[in-house]
């Protein structure tokens, strides 16, 4: 009976376990409610109904960066890790309780896609840790802000909203984003702000960022792009030539795309357009001064006034320098004189000429060296058809192979001179429009037509004169001949070798062979042209006139026979 009236310690323990819900206590691994019974040395004493109280660090009752607000009598939830430790005290955890409760709440919010509140409290590799009211989440560095953030310190230990991107309770992983909240908020603000803007509206903004292609301007919560081409009518290579970050600008809204929420801005639209009346300000033929602003492969741009540039095409840059890069003729920022060639106000184009504003060297050469004058120059180049001679004024003249020397073929004459050699020549012809100067070297030799010859020819030869010529060279197209033993050379075309086709065969002739021919004209270098055919016709006409016409009964053969007989007797 005594045992019944006075239960043993084991009996009391059994009764206690039973009241806790079983032999294992039932409390372990559960979140239970307890009452704060005391606060000692940063530790909080909590009674959860066990045989002894538990101790929990005070920091577990505070959010990161904040002080704990706890006092005796407060009812709190804690997690029972063990009912009793070696000291006979219950092992409790406020963090674990908060974590379990937080996971239940976060899973529900994740399913509903709602925002959660948390505090950034630490750094880890690739991002930051966020306390979501007990549950620890990972915030990737790319999800902190819309733009990269260099210093996250001002954002730490401050309660703020986050969006849960993914979570796995079994693994204890939660990934959140602050950027998603900012983008959503920004989109809402942009939608509201953009409704109050209109194309053509003039508004003030602050330069937020500058790039190579333009600047982003904050219009009070929404950004607009000010492209570099819309900064000014004058050429701008980079926006920082005109503006800096933080500048307050007055801009005009050019375009608004409400679907993409993009706004295009302009500054030059607030200025007067310099192209208005450009055709009157810059008439064709006007000579102007300007500054070279840009050089390309196809020409150079010259600024006539701020906002108006004209193009000098590479073909209009120099009279004498052909097929060279414009950068070898002019340089950037160089002041140059130009001539207006064409103006198109609608297309905002002005064609300029650089060489036209300078003296034409071909005109100058023609004035100083008329046809027949003697010049001196260096052999610049030898081609298969002649020599190019460098003359004063940076112009070139050409000596055709047939005008290099007397008595030899053109190919042999080309071999007489080399590049770099200084030679003398006579001016035969000048074509200013085609920029060509024809020279002759053999005309300066003995027996050559000189500067003082008449228009009829040189060396005493006249048109329709009959002379004895010597064959110098036999060609397919005719004969190269020399008048007299030491006279000028000329040419007889194949068709002028005789009246009959058989007489026109060049193979009938040999170098050194002599015969009579008539001077029928002179080429531009005053070189005579001969004709046997013309001599035959002239002799025939003379014979008919002397011995009567065929109407007298005599045949043409008889008349020519009599004429030939008389000529031989003479």
CATH superfamily of 115-183: Nucleic acid-binding proteins (2.40.50.140)
Q: Are 128 and 120 in contact (CB under 8 A)?
A: yes
Q: Are 327 and 312 in contact (CB under 8 A)?
A: no
Q: Are 31 and 100 in contact (CB under 8 A)?
A: yes
pLDDT at 471 over 50: yes
Least confident of 33-42, 103-112, 119-128, 539-548: 539-548
Architecture category of domain 2-98 in CATH = Beta Barrel (2.40)
- Give residue 9's pLDDT: 56
- Give residue 162's pLDDT: 94
Q: Are 18 and 26 in contact (CB under 8 A)?
A: no
CATH superfamily of 368-444: Nucleic acid-binding proteins (2.40.50.140)
CA dihedral over 176, 182, 184, 185, signed as positive or negative: positive
| Helix axes 532-547 and 556-569, enclosed angle (nearest 10) | 100
Rounded to an integer, the average pLDDT of 53-58 is 74
pTM above 0.75, yes or no: no
- Give residue 258's pLDDT: 78
| Pairwise CA distance, residues 134 & 98, whole Å | 5
Extended beta strands in 412-458, E state: 422-431, 436-440
Q: Are 91 and 81 in contact (CB under 8 A)?
A: yes
Q: What is the DSSP string of 197-233?
A: --TT-EEEEEEEEE-SSEEEEESSSSEEEEEGGGT-S
Longest dimension (CA), the chain: 194
- Give residue 260's pLDDT: 77
- Work out the burial of residue 303: count CB atoms within 10 Å of its CB; fewer than 13 is exposed, 13-18 middle, 19 or more buried: middle
What Cα–Cα distance (Å) separates residue 320 from each residue in 310, 325, 341, 409, 436?
Answer: 22, 13, 19, 31, 11
CATH of 281-357 among 2.60.40.10, 2.40.50.140, 3.30.460.20, 3.30.420.40: 2.40.50.140
69 against 240, higher pLDDT? 240
Q: What is the DSSP string of 480-514?
A: EEEESSSS-EEEEEGGGS-SSGGGG-GGG--TT-E
16 against 435, higher pLDDT? 435
pLDDT at 301 over 90: yes
- Give the DSSP letter of residue 325: -
Q: Tell me which fold the domain 466-547 belongs to.
A: OB fold (Dihydrolipoamide Acetyltransferase, E2P) (2.40.50)
- Give the DSSP letter of residue 75: E
The domain over range 197-270 is classified in CATH as 2.40.50.140? yes
Cα 293 from chain centroid (whole Å): 15
Q: Which pLDDT band holds residue 444 (cuts at 50, 70, 90)? A: confident
Q: Which pLDDT band holds residue 108 (cuts at 50, 70, 90)? A: confident
pLDDT at 552 over 50: no
Residue extents of the structural domains in the chain: 2-98, 115-183, 197-270, 281-357, 368-444, 466-547
Q: Which pLDDT band holds residue 127 (cuts at 50, 70, 90)? A: very high
Q: Are 15 and 7 in contact (CB under 8 A)?
A: yes
| Pairwise CA distance, residues 519 & 351, whole Å | 52
pLDDT digits (tens, 9 = 90+) for 324-343: 899 988 998 899 999 999 99
- Give residue 1's pLDDT: 41
pLDDT at 551 over 60: no
- Tokens 């014979």 belong to residue: 543
332 against 90, higher pLDDT? 332
pLDDT at 456 over 50: no
**How many other C-beta atoms are found inside a 10 Å radius of the C-beta of residue 419?**
11
Structure tokens at 323: 């097929």
Q: Are 36 and 44 in contact (CB under 8 A)?
A: yes
CA dihedral over 384, 390, 396, 402, signed as positive or negative: negative
Of 544, 545, 551, 471, give the one whose Cα is nearest residue 511: 471
Q: Are 399 and 440 in contact (CB under 8 A)?
A: yes
**How many other C-beta atoms are found inside a 10 Å radius of the C-beta of residue 252?**
18
Backbone Cα Rg of the chain: 54
pLDDT digits (tens, 9 = 90+) for 152-203: 888 888 999 999 999 888 888 899 999 998 888 877 777 777 777 888 888 8
Cα 424 from chain centroid (whole Å): 48
**How many other C-beta atoms are found inside a 10 Å radius of the C-beta of residue 74?**
14
Q: What is the DSSP string of 12-76?
A: HHHHHHHHHTSTT-S-TT-EEEEEEEEEETTEEEEE-SSSS-EEEEGGGGS-TTS-----TT-EE
| 269: helix, strand or coil | helix
Rounded to an integer, the average pLDDT of 536-548 is 77
Rounded to an integer, the average pLDDT of 84-93 is 67
What Cα–Cα distance (Å) separates residue 426 from each residue in 122, 180, 419, 448?
Answer: 94, 87, 19, 11
């Amino acid at each position: 009976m005594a045992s019944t009236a006075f239960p043993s310690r084991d009996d009391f323990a059994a009764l206690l376990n039973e009241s806790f819900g079983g032999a294992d206590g039932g409390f372990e691994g559960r979140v239970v409610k307890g009452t704060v019974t005391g606060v000692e040395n940063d530790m909080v004493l909590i009674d959860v109904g066990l045989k002894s109280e538990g101790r929990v660090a005070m920091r577990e009752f505070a959010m990161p960066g904040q002080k704990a607000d706890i006092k005796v009598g407060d009812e709190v939830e804690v997690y029972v890790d063990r009912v009793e430790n070696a000291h006979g005290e219950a092992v409790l955890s406020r963090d674990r309780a908060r974590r379990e409760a937080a996971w239940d709440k976060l899973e529900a919010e994740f399913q509903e896609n709602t925002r959660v509140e948390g505090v950034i409290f630490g750094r880890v590799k690739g991002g930051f840790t966020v306390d979501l009211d007990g549950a620890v989440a990972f915030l990737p560095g790319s999800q902190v802000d819309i733009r990269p953030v260099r210093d996250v310190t001002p954002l730490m230990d401050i309660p703020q909203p986050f969006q849960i991107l993914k979570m796995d309770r079994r693994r204890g992983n939660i990934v959140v984003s602050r950027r998603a909240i900012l983008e959503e908020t920004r989109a809402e603000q942009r939608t509201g702000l953009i409704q109050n803007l209109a194309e053509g509206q003039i508004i003030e903004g602050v330069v937020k960022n500058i790039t190579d292609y333009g600047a982003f301007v904050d219009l009070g919560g929404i950004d607009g792009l000010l492209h570099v081409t819309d900064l000014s009518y004058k050429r701008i290579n980079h926006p920082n030539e005109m503006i800096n970050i933080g500048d307050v600008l007055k801009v005009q809204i050019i375009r608004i795309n409400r679907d993409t929420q993009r706004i295009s801005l302009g500054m030059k639209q607030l200025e007067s357009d310099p192209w208005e009346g450009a055709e009157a300000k810059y008439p064709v033929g006007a000579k102007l001064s300007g500054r070279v602003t840009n050089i390309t492969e196809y020409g150079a741009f010259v600024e006539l006034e701020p906002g108006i540039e004209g193009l000098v095409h590479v073909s209009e840059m120099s009279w004498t320098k052909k097929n060279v890069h414009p950068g070898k003729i002019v340089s950037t920022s160089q002041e140059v004189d130009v001539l207006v060639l064409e103006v198109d106000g609608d297309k905002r184009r002005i064609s300029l000429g650089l060489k036209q504003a300078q003296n034409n060297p071909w005109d100058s050469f023609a004035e100083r060296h008329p046809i027949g004058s003697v010049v001196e120059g260096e052999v610049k180049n030898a081609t298969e058809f002649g020599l190019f001679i460098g003359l004063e004024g940076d112009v070139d003249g050409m000596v055709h192979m047939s005008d290099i020397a007397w008595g030899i073929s053109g190919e042999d004459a080309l071999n007489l001179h080399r590049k770099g050699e200084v030679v003398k020549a006579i001016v035969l012809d000048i074509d200013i429009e085609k920029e060509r100067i024809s020279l002759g070297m053999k005309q300066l030799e003995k027996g050559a037509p000189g500067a003082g010859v008449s228009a009829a020819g040189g060396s005493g030869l006249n048109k329709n004169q009959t002379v004895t010529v010597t064959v110098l060279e036999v060609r397919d197209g005719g004969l190269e001949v020399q008048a007299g033993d030491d006279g000028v050379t000329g040419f007889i075309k194949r068709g002028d070798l005789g009246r009959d086709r058989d007489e026109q065969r060049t193979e009938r002739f040999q170098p050194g062979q002599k015969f009579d021919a008539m001077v029928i004209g002179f080429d531009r270098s005053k070189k005579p042209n001969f004709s046997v055919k013309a001599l035959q016709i002239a002799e025939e006409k003379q014979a008919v006139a002397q011995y009567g016409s065929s109407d007298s009964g005599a045949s043409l053969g008889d008349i020519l026979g009599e004429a030939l007989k008389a000529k031989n007797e003479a």
